Structure 1
Amino acid sequence: MLLRLPTSLSEAQRYLAEGAVPVGGATLVWALWQRDGFPEQAMSLRELPQANLREREALGAAVLLHQLDDRMPEVLRRAAATVGTGAVRRTATVGGNIVGSTLRCLLPAALVLDARATVLDRDGTCETDLAEVVAKRHLLLGLRWRDPVTSGYYKAPGEAGGPPPLVVATAVHAGSDGRPRLFVAVRDGYEVTSESIVCRSGPDHTLEALDRTGLGSLPAPAREAVRREVTRTLNRSPDR
């Protein structure tokens, strides 16, 4: 197998056109390749500057999970810190987790940041939403978002080899109309559900409004976790 390491977008586009298979940290595909056979060409973005950004409101797809630091919002840092073992986090990439993994532990965090994705194909780069990235398995270059007022992340205890543990991600953003807006994303099993609402006066009224969204149909344990995490996040917000 020939591993391509582009250092420019034009190189990456050319390798895609030649049939190179995108690969992140290879933590997910290596075993499959050993079983099913290796592709003739693979491509890693680890040498591509645009895929290695680490800023307060931007993160590259080739960044390793253990590299997320204090420049990142709390919800994103905590999500990355819960993925696998330390050895996995030193190899797995942001893009591989969001696009290549069935668990997508970073996806709820990215959703509550209201993140937009920059993707690359043979025609160039474009910006799109995370739902399309996941559905069409685009080659992710990076994420950009608005810095939240506050955020939080909860991941229930889980057993190795067991079902995916419940995840609740929350964030409060300053609204364009001056009213703070609450974003909530929940991974229940393999499904991720997200909603956003204008914050009401007090956590109780906000929770009542949240119950009237799609999150209100979650199983009781998930709804209870949402209520707990939303209350914590709202109580930390200076706009409460």
Structure 2
Amino acid sequence: MLLRLPTSVSEARECVAEGIVPIGGATLLWATWQRDGFPEQAMSLRELPEANVIGRETLGAAVVLHRIDDRVPEVLRAAAATIGTGAVRRTASVGGNLVGSSLRCLLPAALVLRARATVLDADGVQETGLAEAMEAKGSVLLSLRWNAPAASAYRKLPGDAGGPPPLVVASALHTDGAGHHLLHVAVRDGYDVRDADADCGTGAATALDTLRATAAFGDLPAEAWDIVHEQTTRLLGDAGLA
């Protein structure tokens, strides 16, 4: 297998146009390739500057998980820190987790940040919604971008080896230029990820009632709802909105 390492967007675009298989850290692909055979060529973005950014409002798809630090919001940092073992986090990438993994452990955090995706396809660099980027064929995720939240929280319950994915609850409090507050919450229950938001102008109790009334959270398991309640109360209380 020939591994292509583009150092510019134009080089990466050529690889996409040629249909070369993109890989992240290959932590999940390697076993599949050993079983089914390796492609003739693959492409890694680890040398592409646009895919290696880390900042308050951006994160590159080629960034390996152990590099995610306090430059990004707490919810995203905490999510990355709970994925796999230290050895996995030194290899697995943001893009591989979101696009190449059925677990998509970073997805709840990205959803509550209201992240947008920058992707590369045969037509060039485009910005699109996160869901579209994860499902699109013939494009490669370059980075995520979001507006920094006022505060955020993350909790992942312990899981059993070989069992279903553990429960995850992520939340972020957003404030616009006019001082309007919006809480966004996401829950991963098994392989299902659901999210909803609520206006926070009249306090935590009203925000929780709003979340409970949404189609996404109306049948939320009690264990998950308890964590949603705790995070909502804490984030709004710390912000003086309780």
TM-score (norm 1): 0.96
CA RMSD of aligned residues (A): 1.3
| Alignment match of 1:229 (pick from 228, 231, 234) | 231
| AA in 1 matched with 2:43 | M
The 2-side partners of 1:146 and 1:238 are apart by: 21
Structure 2, unmatched stretches of 5+, are none
* Deviation by residue 1:156-210 (Cα, 9 ceiling, x = unmatched): 1111111000100000000354221000011111111111121142211211111
CA contact (8 A) 2:200 2:241 kept: no
| AA in 1 matched with 2:6 | P
SS in 2 for 1:109: helix
The 2-side partners of 1:127 and 1:212 are apart by: 32
| AA in 2 matched with 1:87 | A
The 1-side partners of 2:201 and 2:169 are apart by: 20
* Deviation by residue 1:33-66 (Cα, 9 ceiling, x = unmatched): 0000000000000000000001111110000100
| AA in 1 matched with 2:193 | V
> How far apart are 1:219 and its partner, in Å?
2.2
The 2-side partners of 1:238 and 1:219 are apart by: 28
For residue 156 of structure 1, what is the aligned residue in structure 2? 157
* Deviation by residue 1:111-149 (Cα, 9 ceiling, x = unmatched): 111111000111111001111112225411000101100
| AA in 2 matched with 1:89 | R
Structure 1, unmatched stretches of 5+, are none
SS in 1 for 2:143: strand
CA contact (8 A) 1:76 1:106 kept: yes
Number of corresponding residues: 240
TM-score (norm 2): 0.95
For residue 206 of structure 2, what is the aligned residue in structure 1? 205
SS in 2 for 1:218: coil
For residue 100 of structure 2, what is the aligned residue in structure 1? 100
For residue 57 of structure 1, what is the aligned residue in structure 2? 57
The 2-side partners of 1:236 and 1:135 are apart by: 37
> How far apart are 1:239 and its partner, in Å?
4.4
* Deviation by residue 1:59-118 (Cα, 9 ceiling, x = unmatched): 100001000111110000000000000000000000001111111111110111111100
CA contact (8 A) 1:111 1:194 kept: yes
| AA in 1 matched with 2:230 | R
1:122-141, aligned counterparts within 5 Å? 122-136=122-136, 138-141=139-142
| AA in 1 matched with 2:23 | V
Q: Give the 3 Å change call, closer, same or farther, for CA 177–198 of structure 1 in structure 2.
A: farther
Q: Which moved more, 1:126-135 or 1:77-86?
A: 126-135
The 2-side partners of 1:220 and 1:238 are apart by: 27
CA contact (8 A) 1:216 1:223 kept: no
For residue 5 of structure 1, what is the aligned residue in structure 2? 5
> How far apart are 1:238 and its partner, in Å?
4.3
For residue 25 of structure 1, what is the aligned residue in structure 2? 25
Q: Which moved more, 1:205-214 or 1:218-227?
A: 218-227
| AA in 2 matched with 1:116 | R
The 1-side partners of 2:125 and 2:94 are apart by: 18
SS in 2 for 1:215: coil
| AA in 2 matched with 1:227 | H
SS in 1 for 2:218: helix
